[in-house]
C-alpha cells in the first residue's frame, strides 16, 4: 500500500520493503484461518515480536441508537515513540463479527515502519492515501488523528494513545491544508455527537468539498502548523 504521511508540513511516500511483504503474507494466512466463531478480543500478530493489534467487538449507544462496532488497537508503536493508535469502525447490518476489514493490519504495519524512521503522527495530523484509496474504495483518501475517548468494552491500557477517523474525498486535503478541526466539527454536527463521533462509517457521505472551501475565510487565512494543533492568523 502506498500512503503519504502529512505531519508538520512534510509529505512522505511509503514503499513497502520485502521484509514487510513477508510479514503481511503471514498475517493474511493467519486471518484466512480465523473461524467464524472468532473470540473477542482477538489478537493479530502483524509483525511478529514487534507489533500486535487487538480487535474488540462492542456496541456504542448514541441517543436511542445502538451502533455495533469493531475497534482496532495497536500494541508496539510506542517502542519507537509513536503513540498507539485505536480505530473504531461501525459494523454494517449485514456484517458478521468475523467480517472485520483485514486491510487495517497492513496499514498499522506501515505506521510501524514510519515510526522506526522517526516519522510520527499526533493529534491534528492527517495521513493521506494515494488516488487508489483504502479498502478497495477510492473515496477513502485519508485518516485524521484526534484525542481518544473511553469506549465501553474497549480496554486501552496505559500507553499514550491516538484515535483515527476515516476521511473521505476532499476531507483529507482540507484536513491537510486547513486543519482537521473543521472536518471533525462537521462530522459532529452530522451525527449529533460532539465534538466528533469516535467511530468511522464506511457508508457515510462526505461532509464537505474542497470547492466549497476555496473562497472561505479559512482558506484565505495564514496558517502556522504546530504539533497537535494548527494556529491561524488573519492576513492584514
The answer for residues whose C-beta is within 8 angstroms of residue 173's C-beta and 6 or more apart is 128, 141, 210
Q: What is the mean pLDDT of residues 16-29?
A: 36
Is residue 5 predicted with pLDDT exceeding 50?
Answer: yes
**Given this model, what pLDDT does residue 3 score?**
61
Is residue 11 predicted with pLDDT exceeding 70?
Answer: no
pTM for this structure? 0.77
Q: 84-121: string of b/e by CB count within 10 Å (b at 16+)?
A: bbbbbbbbeeeeebeebebebbbbbbbbbbbbeeebbb
- Residue ranges of alpha helices (H) inside the chain are 18-32, 103-116, 171-178, 180-191, 210-213, 217-220
Q: Helix, strand or coil for residue 65?
A: strand
Domain segments of the chain as ranges:
3-208
CA 171, 202, 87, 27 dihedral sign is negative
Q: What is the mean pLDDT of residues 132-160?
A: 92
Alpha-carbon distance 26 to 194, whole Å? 40
**Given this model, what pLDDT does residue 2 score?**
59
**Given this model, what pLDDT does residue 215 score?**
62
Beta-strand pair 161-168/84-90 = parallel
CA 112, 16, 90, 131 dihedral sign is positive
Amino acid at each position: 500500500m502506498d500512503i503519504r504521511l502529512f505531519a508538520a508540513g512534510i509529505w512522505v511516500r511509503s514503499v513497502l520493503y520485502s521484509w514487510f511483504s513477508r510479514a503481511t503474507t503471514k498475517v493474511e494466512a493467519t486471518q484466512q484461518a480465523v473461524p467464524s466463531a472468532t473470540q473477542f478480543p482477538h489478537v493479530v500478530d502483524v509483525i511478529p515480536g514487534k507489533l500486535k493489534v487487538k480487535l474488540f467487538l462492542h456496541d456504542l449507544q448514541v441517543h436511542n441508537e445502538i451502533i455495533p462496532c469493531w475497534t482496532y488497537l495497536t500494541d508496539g508503536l510506542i517502542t519507537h515513540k509513536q503513540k498507539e493508535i485505536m480505530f473504531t469502525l461501525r459494523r454494517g447490518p449485514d456484517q458478521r463479527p468475523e467480517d472485520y476489514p483485514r486491510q487495517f493490519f497492513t496499514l498499522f504495519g506501515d505506521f510501524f515502519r514510519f515510526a522506526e524512521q522517526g516519522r510520527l503522527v499526533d493529534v491534528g495530523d492527517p495521513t493521506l492515501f494515494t488516488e487508489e484509496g483504502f479498502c478497495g474504495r477510492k473515496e477513502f483518501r485519508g485518516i485524521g488523528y484526534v484525542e481518544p475517548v473511553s469506549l465501553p468494552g474497549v480496554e486501552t491500557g496505559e500507553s499514550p494513545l491516538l484515535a483515527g477517523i476515516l476521511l473521505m474525498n476532499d476531507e483529507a486535503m482540507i484536513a491537510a491544508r486547513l486543519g482537521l478541526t473543521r472536518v471533525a466539527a462537521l462530522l459532529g454536527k452530522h451525527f449529533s455527537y460532539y465534538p466528533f463521533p469516535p467511530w468511522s462509517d464506511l457508508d457515510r457521505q462526505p461532509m464537505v468539498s474542497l470547492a466549497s472551501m476555496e473562497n472561505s475565510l479559512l482558506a484565505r487565512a495564514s496558517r502556522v502548523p504546530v504539533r497537535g494543533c494548527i494556529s491561524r492568523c488573519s492576513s492584514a
